[in-house]
Amino acid sequence: MTIIGFVRHGITAWNKEGRAQGSSDIPLDDEGMEMAKRVSNRLANEQWDAIYTSPQKRASQTAEIIVDNMAGIELVVDDRLREVGGGMIEGTTEKERIEKWGEDWRRLDMGFELQESIISRGLAVLEEIKEKYPEQRILVVSHGSFIKRMLNELINDSTFDVSLDNTSLTIVDLQQDKSFCQLFNCTKHL
Give CA separation, 21 vs 84, 112, 177, in Å: 9, 12, 34
Active site residue 83: yes
| Cα angle 86, 15, 97; round to 5 | 50
**Considering 34, 64, 83, 127, which one is annotated as catalytic?**
83
Q: Report CA 73 to chain centroid distance, whole Å.
A: 19
Q: Cα(93)–Cα(55) distance, rounded to whole angstroms?
A: 24
Q: Cα(47)–Cα(25) distance, rounded to whole angstroms?
A: 30
- Please name the helix (run of DSSP H) or strand (run of DSSP E) that holds residue 14, with its range, or none: helix 13-17
Active site residue 128: no
Q: 156-162: long-range contacts (C-beta < 8 A, 24 or more apart)? A: 160/184
Residues with a catalytic annotation lie at: 9, 83
